[in-house]
Structure 1
């Protein structure tokens, strides 16, 4: 497995992207709302929620443990599910009404988070000692 795809670098990437997206969403909630059609409060609080997650991911990267890595992967899966639910909620429940750019933004970040979760899960399995 290439060095970049080992568990620790993937978790560091996860932490860095959570921090970057968290800052972008929380600081830029109003302009992003105008661009995406998503409520500014949703963007702001989603961004704030990512900041402690970034710290958690950094701690997991520093000292990976199977349980915390599993929690990180499950958290990413939950984020993807919430993103898809958000997109589905517009037509189904009228909770949000993102425009095309909003749909694209939520979709692309969900695909990225799903890919990262899959890579982390694969790297975690490869890092486990093989039974004799």
Structure 2
């Protein structure tokens, strides 16, 4: 392979990674913001959703750190497949666990919480699906 072919291949890979990087960056922003809200406003949010504020603080701490890690992954010119698959899997587990928490009675939220929890699960599942498509495009 010539230098031009190698350079062209790398440029093509970075271009193909564009949608993946976008979906990871959007995920990081939404997740990080959600995490900070849960972490910093656990009392009022907990009262609104009728979810324990200590639970929200723990979830908020996790989501804040997770959001930063996903942002670091999104900043890579070509996010590694393994790390991207891990993000997709965590997102899928989060979405399923959120719905299970409602359906199995692990949480008994207010009406606002009963609307919010499946909506955020849907958003997280959508990120997983979009990231999976982006991964396939970027890594073949």
State the TM-score, normalizing by the size of structure 1. Answer: 0.86
Q: 1:52 aligns with which of 65, 70, 73?
A: 65
For residue 88 of structure 1, report the CA deviation from its aligned partner: 2.0
Separation (CA, whole Å) in 1 of partners of 2:100 and 2:127: 19
Q: Which residue of 1 aligns with 2:103?
A: 88
The count of aligned residue pairs is 122
Runs (4+) of structure 1 moved beyond 4 Å? none
Provide Cα deviations, 1:23-69, integer angstroms capped at 9, x if missing partner.
Answer: 00111111111111111111111111101101210121122000001
Q: Which residue of 2 aligns with 1:19?
A: 32
Q: 1:106 aligns with which of 117, 120, 125?
A: 117
Determine which structure has more spread, i.e. the larger CA radius of gyration: 2
Q: Which residue of 1 aligns with 2:86?
A: 71
SS in 1 for 2:38: helix
Could you tell which deviates more after superposition, 46-55 or 81-90?
81-90
Matched, 1:34 2:47: yes
For residue 89 of structure 1, report the CA deviation from its aligned partner: 3.0
Q: Which residue of 2 aligns with 1:115?
A: 126
- RMSD (Å), alpha carbons: 1.5
